[in-house]
């Protein structure tokens, strides 16, 4: 096994081996994992199935490279990230095709992910030279306080399948900028994009051992082995709350620093004074980006009772106009879900909502195979307490629940254990600000269906995790502070 060439158009030249210490190699036990095309279940490529021996070799490489990388001038680290940004931009079409093939999203959306994901490399190439401490006089006089920032050390990144590039770059960018070396374990469903990115990082001259990629079907064992090693100083995880909880527990042994980007259950509030055209437009983006398979996906539509019927009708009209199909085909708006279990779980949530009193305006049932398709679906009259309102749907289903007062809307929005992002549509400035402040979420989309931006601090509260990715805050996750007391 060497490369994915000869498998599917667009995968020529994409590596399928582990990237450890600057070399590409097969798994220690020569095992492989099949990467499936979610549009028909066929095998796209086979990648190395790394085990704990491979993971430890990757950590050895990262630990060995740490001192030299952190001593590399920030400008040089920044220039390498900038060169990677340029190369990804040049190869945007290739990246988009690989993302679309292994994850299923339409090509246009995959291109959007490349632009968004690549922006983290550019943003943090610029932030690399802006890390600094402070010099301060002791408030009671007599001494000075100096603070300095240092890279936290070797990091482990565990990423999900839904944004195979962006979920990696928003960790790799700040870590490399800060002077940390990394071991990346991408999702086994979508490992090819991360391997392609590692090829770019190698090509622009990121030194051996600074970035290591271990693809594996044994995430639990590999994660546990790495976290049991005190040389690992930081874990950044994006994925489900359940897995995140386990990793937080494992971090206790060596007190590794952790960043957790976990699940969401985003409310989408539409007040009676909202611009309904804008709200429907925003709803389409917030709901349908990535087929609804996004932690930021609008999960619960909370709509004022006076406009709910009109909003539901217009949303259903737009949803029924979408074309479902293979992500690489022209004119497709909605690709397949990631696997059969995803289709089953979305279908079960819809059936349960209907049993609980919801009405289906459009969609509602899984499409016939092959492939793992679920049609755009709008549900109205969904009871506030319905199961679907309490679970992350992760599919193209919009359940609409009504409210009558602002207080009721905010209370319903905040009633979730999650707190990643909330959306609110209103034309009243005072209400906009009051509601934004009252919402218990890490991010608020005010009259917009999209919040993701490399220059903004992305992250949640409560069961959606902690830590921020992007913005000025992003690099802080990879820096420790040393304070020096100086009598003068």
Lay out the site mask for ligand NAD across 235-274 (x = CB under 6 A, - = otherwise): ---xxx--x--x--------------xxxx----------
Which residues does residue 23 pair with via DSSP β-bridges, in sequence order?
20
Query: What's phi and psi for 461, nearest 5 deg?
Result: -125, 175
> Catalytic annotation on 392?
no
Distance CA 26, CA 37 (A): 22
Between the alpha carbon of residue 263 and those of residues 106, 121, 189, 260, 292, the distances in Å are 23, 24, 18, 10, 13
Distance CA 462, CA 413 (A): 13
> Catalytic annotation on 261?
yes
Looking at the Cβ atoms of 295 and 398, the one nearer to ligand NAD is 295
Q: How far is the CB of 482 from ligand NAD (least distance, A)?
A: 30
For the segment 14-53, give every residue that binds ligand NAD (CB under 6 A).
none
Q: How far is the CB of 157 from ligand NAD (least distance, A)?
A: 9
Look at residue 359 and give its three-state secondary structure: strand
Catalytic residue, chosen from 261, 406, 469, 477, is: 261
Looking at the Cβ atoms of 283 and 420, the one nearer to ligand NAD is 420
Among 98, 103, 295, 303, binds ligand NAD (CB under 6 A): 295
Q: How far is the CB of 190 from ligand NAD (least distance, A)?
A: 9
Among 160, 336, 376, 399, binds ligand NAD (CB under 6 A): 160
Q: How far is the CB of 69 from ligand NAD (least distance, A)?
A: 24
Q: How far is the CB of 235 from ligand NAD (least distance, A)?
A: 9
- Centre a 10 Å sphere on the Cβ of residue 149 and count the other Cβ atoms it contains: 18
* By CB under 6 A, residue 159 contacts ligand NAD: yes
H/E element, 400: strand 397-403
Phi-psi group of 211: left, alpha or beta (phi > 0 → left; psi -120 to 50 → alpha; rest → beta): beta
Looking at the Cβ atoms of 83 and 103, the one nearer to ligand NAD is 103
Going by C-alpha positions, the residue among 406, 398, 403 that lies closest to residue 380 is 398
CB contact at 8 A, 456 and 469: no
CB contact at 8 A, 2 and 23: no
Distance CA 458, CA 53 (A): 34
Q: How far is the CB of 49 from ligand NAD (least distance, A)?
A: 12
Piece in contact with ligand NAD (CB under 6 A), picked from 107-115, 180-188, 363-371, 474-482: 180-188
Distance CA 161, CA 102 (A): 9
* By CB under 6 A, residue 10 contacts ligand NAD: no
Q: Which residues have a Cβ under 8 Å from the Cβ of 227 and sit 6 or more positions away?
A: 156, 235, 247, 250, 251, 253, 254, 256
Which stretches does DSSP call E strand in 38-98?
Answer: 43-48
* By CB under 6 A, residue 345 contacts ligand NAD: no
Per the structure block, which two tokens stand in for 252?
A: 């206790």
Looking at the Cβ atoms of 209 and 442, the one nearer to ligand NAD is 442
Piece in contact with ligand NAD (CB under 6 A), picked from 116-124, 148-156, 181-189, 408-416: 181-189
Query: What's phi and psi for 36, nearest 5 deg?
Result: -100, 150
Distance CA 333, CA 343 (A): 17
Lay out the site mask for ligand NAD across 410-449 (x = CB under 6 A, - = otherwise): ----------x-----------------------------
Lay out the site mask for ligand NAD across 191-230 (x = CB under 6 A, - = otherwise): ----------------------------xx--x-------
Q: How far is the CB of 375 from ligand NAD (least distance, A)?
A: 21
> What residue ranges bind ligand NAD (CB under 6 A)?
158-162, 167, 185, 187-188, 219-220, 223, 238-240, 243, 246, 261-264, 295, 392, 420, 460, 464
What residues are labeled active site? Answer: 261, 295
């Amino acid at each position: 096994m060497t490369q994915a060439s000869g498998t599917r158009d667009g995968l020529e030249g994409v590596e399928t081996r582990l990237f450890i210490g600057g070399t590409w190699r097969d798994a220690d036990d020569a095992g492989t994992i099949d990467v499936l095309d979610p549009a028909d279940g066929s095998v796209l490529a086979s990648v190395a199935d790394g085990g704990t021996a491979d993971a430890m070799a990757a950590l050895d490489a990262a630990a060995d490279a740490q001192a030299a990388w952190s001593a590399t001038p920030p400008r040089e680290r920044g220039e390498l990230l900038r060169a990677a940004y340029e190369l990804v931009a040049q190869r945007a079409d290739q990246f988009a095709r690989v993302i679309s093939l292994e994850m299923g999203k339409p090509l246009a959306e995959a291109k959007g992910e490349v632009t968004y994901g690549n922006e983290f490399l550019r943003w943090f190439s610029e932030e690399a030279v802006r890390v600094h401490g402070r010099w301060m006089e002791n408030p009671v006089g007599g001494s000075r306080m100096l603070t300095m920032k240092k890279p936290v050390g070797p990091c482990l990144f565990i990423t999900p399948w839904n944004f195979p590039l962006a979920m990696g770059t928003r960790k790799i960018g700040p870590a490399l900028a800060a002077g940390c070396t990394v071991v990346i374990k991408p999702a086994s469903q979508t490992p090819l994009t991360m391997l392609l990115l590692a090829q770019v990082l190698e090509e622009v001259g990121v030194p051996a051992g600074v970035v290591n990629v271990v693809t594996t079907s044994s995430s639990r064992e590999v994660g546990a082995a790495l976290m049991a090693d005190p040389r690992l100083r930081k874990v950044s995880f994006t994925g489900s709350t359940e897995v995140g909880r386990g990793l937080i527990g494992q971090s206790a042994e060596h007190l590794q620093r952790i960043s957790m980007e976990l699940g969401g259950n985003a409310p989408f509030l539409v007040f009676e004074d909202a611009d309904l055209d804008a709200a429907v437009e925003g709803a389409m983006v917030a709901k349908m980006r990535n087929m609804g398979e996004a932690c930021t996906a609008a999960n619960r539509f909370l709509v004022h009772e006076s406009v709910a019927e009109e909003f539901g009708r217009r949303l259903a009209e737009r949803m029924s106009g979408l074309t479902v199909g293979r992500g690489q085909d022209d004119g497709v708006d909605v690709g397949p879900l990631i696997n059969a279990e995803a289709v089953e779980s979305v279908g079960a949530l819809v059936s349960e909502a209907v049993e609980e009193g919801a009405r289906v305006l459009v969609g509602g049932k899984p499409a016939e195979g092959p492939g793992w398709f679920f049609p755009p679906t709008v549900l109205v009259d969904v009871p506030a307490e319905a199961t679907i309102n309490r679970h992350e749907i992760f599919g193209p289903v919009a359940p609409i629940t009504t409210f009558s007062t602002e207080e009721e809307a905010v209370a319903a929005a905040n009633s979730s254990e999650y707190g990643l992002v909330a959306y609110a549509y209103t034309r009243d400035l005072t209400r906009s600000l009051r509601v934004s402040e009252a919402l218990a979420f890490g991010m608020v989309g005010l009259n917009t269906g999209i919040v993701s931006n490399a220059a903004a601090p992305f992250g949640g509260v409560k069961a959606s995790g902690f830590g921020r990715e992007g913005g000025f805050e992003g690099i802080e996750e990879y820096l420790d502070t040393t304070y020096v007391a100086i009598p003068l």
